[in-house]
Amino acid sequence: MREIDFVVGPSREGQWSGLCLEPALRISAPTLEELHHEAREALILSLGPSHVACRIRLRRQLGQIRSRLPCSGPQGREDQQIVPAVVAEAARGPS
């Protein structure tokens, strides 16, 4: 099964947008659930019947992942080692 990755993030107040590089697609919707539906619709239009062999993944932008990580302040040196590993794992997505 082929995986199609959409990098998603908030585009404006109450709106989400997604971008896929291969095939080149751009989508937007008010919720993440509807964004996933829009991604499937875009694949149907782009790939035709072969869209059934594709799995869609919505991935958040790396900057959003970093901004949501906990930070213990300047004395928390352990965060300096943990954060890069967590960001790399989040960018890879689930196994």
pLDDT digits (tens, 9 = 90+) for 7-33: 999 988 889 999 999 899 999 999 999
pLDDT of res. 80: 42
pLDDT of res. 92: 56
Whole-model pTM: value is: 0.62
Residues with Cβ < 8 Å from 44, sequence gap 6 or more?
Answer: 51
pLDDT of res. 12: 80
Q: Which residues of the chain have pLDDT under 70?
A: 62-95
pLDDT of res. 5: 92
pLDDT of res. 82: 43
Residues with Cβ < 8 Å from 36, sequence gap 6 or more?
Answer: 56, 58
H or E stretch including 46?
A: helix 32-47
